[in-house]
Structure 1
Amino acid sequence: MSVTRRGVLAAGGALLAAPQVAPLLAQTARWPERPVEITVGFVAGGATDLDARLFARLLEPRIGGTVVVLNRAGAGGEVALGAVARARPDGHSLATTNMPGFLTIPIERQAQYKLEDFTGIANLVIDPCAVTVHEQSPYRSLQQLIDAAKARPEAITFASPGVGTDDHLEMVLIQEATGARFTHVVFQGDPQLRTAILGRQVDAMGLNVGPVTATPDNLRMLAQAGAERSRFRPDVPTLRELGIPVEMASERGLVAPAGTPPAIVAKLREAAADIARDPEFVRVLESRFTFPSFEDGDAWFRRLAATRTRYQELWQKTPWSQR
């Protein structure tokens, strides 16, 4: 048998690679070795938390392991995303994402993460924003609320779950389009927002159609920011119908740290696609007046990269942290 220089080099390369590849393959075969954690950047009981707990329960039988949800609220989701970005990329640490905050936070400040720190598993849900007041509020239409904010700049309060979130950007864009000026008040999640509006601590809030519709008592939704009227709230006009050229929604997905083994990513993506088709997943989401919206990780992240460019342009025009 003849031995060539090319053969020697190939064999040597294989020997050098083997110590690196073998542990990775073994690790993938054993996964999950411990509970998989899904970290949520908001308090328990909000829409993102509820979505994550539903997904976690349906994920367990599909990967043959335990899945737990951890809540690490703070900075509009940055605390949780930063922690997962720094986590060991072994498939045991995942995070929920909320658009647009997932992209806008690193634009507006020196954040604990960037898009490239993650691998996309899938986008799963879309829920249009809404503008809501207390049922006994003097503002019976969005125009009345805007007129008050124009007549008394910064006297009317508008609550959201954080700077750069979809609900905050909805307010920013409404201000930009109308000339109104609200005072922005930040809370840590849906339950606190609801408590603030029901307690008449704030005049209005940005909160998605789903959670407002799920528990509508003592609330009046003035407008919603979808591309068209939600089938769950056909009685509520869109901002575009009211002459305000704004569309905004919460998109909620799942990511893993960059560098997570491709075989584990593939298994998670396969499971996510299967869950998105699961009748129980669809039924529960729709029972909360939320739209399932599955998008595979690669296609999703390509779209996010393009969307980030548009938000960077918006930031140059309208720095939302100042609004």
Structure 2
Amino acid sequence: MTTAFGRRPAFMALAATALSTPALAQRARFPDRPMELIVGFAAGGGTDVTARTFARFLEKELGGSVVVNNRPGASGEIGLAYVARARPDGHVLGITNMPGLVTLPIERRTPQFNLNDFEYIANLVADPSAFSVPAASPIKDFADLVARARQAPETITFGSTGVGTDEHLALVLFQAAANVKLVHVPFPGAGPMRTAILGNQVEVGGLNVGEVAASPQGVRMLVQGGAVRSSFAPDVPTFKDAGFDVTMSSERGIVVAKGTPADVVARLREATAKVANDPAFKEQCRIQFTDMDYLEGPAWRDRLEEANGRFRQMWQRQPWSEG
């Protein structure tokens, strides 16, 4: 209905405005309560440290509180499953750890989540996998580890943060490349694993480069899984330096539950991009010996899909659930 001048009556315009106001107000209020950032590992590891740093900067961008909540277990699956099942409104975020984000649904008969259960905000950082030993270990260097593993198969213990995690898959790839077999011992996080290394409960541990470089007391890094040597540990060879075609890193990014409204996802992506480009955040990552690897949601999802194909082929050739 229009007037003679072709305009809506005033009451209709007011009604339309009233109908649109709640939606606009709802968008403006996000977040309207404290947010959770879920970490699928025990406190003290690299993923946990990245999460706590990111949370502080995200609070500044969004103007609300972000509480880090550790839900360790099952190589990170418990935490990611919690995020996948959360109310899809953007108030429950998860920090992922690749390759576990991709590999857990591959290796488990009844996975609690899959790649389609999330909206992808952005990847933040990458931290190469590394093999470390107690500082006083009789294992002198990586070549010595290889020699000992060949001389005495299935006697050297290797700690990881769980089946399908980056350090466990680095072990699997190394064992295949070197034709050796170590005894895999999983832990709920890097903190408990470091304690086990320091206590000589395991002979070798799969701590990441940043985890060792940030706290080198009592441990000695033998080799790392980056494509090139790390500026944080320039004297530590890569697997490729030692003649083994192995690369592996922990990639850490942010997700929310599938079905989160598009405007909330966009708000989170915008805020995360600002955090990732904040010089103060970059400096904190440098101080924590972690390389920036920012990649926005859609491009990150594409990279994960490519990794999914590679790991599925690897699983068909060499299932890693037992090794």
Distance 1:99 1:252 in 2: 6
Distance 2:126 2:304 in 1: 14
Q: Which residue of 1 aligns with 2:38?
A: 39
Number of residue pairs aligned between Structure 1 and Structure 2: 306
Establish whether residue 286 from structure 1 lines up as the match of residue 314 from structure 2.
no
Q: Which residue of 2 aligns with 1:91?
A: 90
**CA-to-partner distance for each residue in 1:257-315, whole Å, 9 max, x for gaps?**
01111111111111111111111111111111110110001100011011101100000
3-state DSSP class of the match of 1:320? Answer: coil
Establish whether residue 73 from structure 1 lines up as the match of residue 72 from structure 2.
yes
Distance 1:206 1:92 in 2: 32
How far residue 183 of structure 1 moved from its aligned partner, in angstroms, is 0.5
Establish whether residue 116 from structure 1 lines up as the match of residue 116 from structure 2.
yes
Distance 2:49 2:224 in 1: 21
Distance 2:32 2:214 in 1: 37
3-state DSSP class of the match of 1:168? Answer: helix
- Deviation >3 Å, runs of 4+: 21-27
Distance 2:314 2:172 in 1: 11
Distance 2:28 2:219 in 1: 51
Distance 1:275 1:101 in 2: 24
Q: Which residue of 1 aligns with 2:7?
A: none
Distance 2:321 2:130 in 1: 20
Q: Which residue of 2 aligns with 1:154?
A: 154
The more displaced of 249-258 and 141-150 is 141-150
3-state DSSP class of the match of 1:146? Answer: helix
How far residue 26 of structure 1 moved from its aligned partner, in angstroms, is 5.0
**CA-to-partner distance for each residue in 1:59-111, whole Å, 9 max, x for gaps?**
11211211111010001110010011011100111101001011000000021
Distance 1:186 1:152 in 2: 21
Distance 2:306 2:259 in 1: 22
Over the aligned positions, Cα root-mean-square deviation in angstroms equals 1.6
Distance 1:303 1:80 in 2: 22
Distance 1:26 1:80 in 2: 31
Distance 2:158 2:89 in 1: 41
Q: Which residue of 1 aligns with 2:229?
A: 229
Alignment of 1:2-41 (within 5 A): 27-41=26-40
How far residue 27 of structure 1 moved from its aligned partner, in angstroms, is 3.4
How far residue 25 of structure 1 moved from its aligned partner, in angstroms, is 5.5
Give structure 2 stretches of 5+ with no counterpart.
3-18
Amino acid at match of 1:63: L
Distance 1:26 1:118 in 2: 25
The more displaced of 190-199 and 168-177 is 190-199
How high is the TM-score relative to the length of structure 1?
0.92
Distance 1:158 1:81 in 2: 25
- Percent identity reads 53
Q: Which residue of 1 aligns with 2:215?
A: 215
Alignment of 1:187-198 (within 5 A): 187-198=187-198
Distance 2:314 2:23 in 1: 42
How far residue 219 of structure 1 moved from its aligned partner, in angstroms, is 1.4
Distance 2:26 2:85 in 1: 19
Amino acid at match of 1:125: V
How far residue 47 of structure 1 moved from its aligned partner, in angstroms, is 1.2
How far residue 22 of structure 1 moved from its aligned partner, in angstroms, is 8.6
Q: Which residue of 2 aligns with 1:313?
A: 313
Amino acid at match of 1:197: I
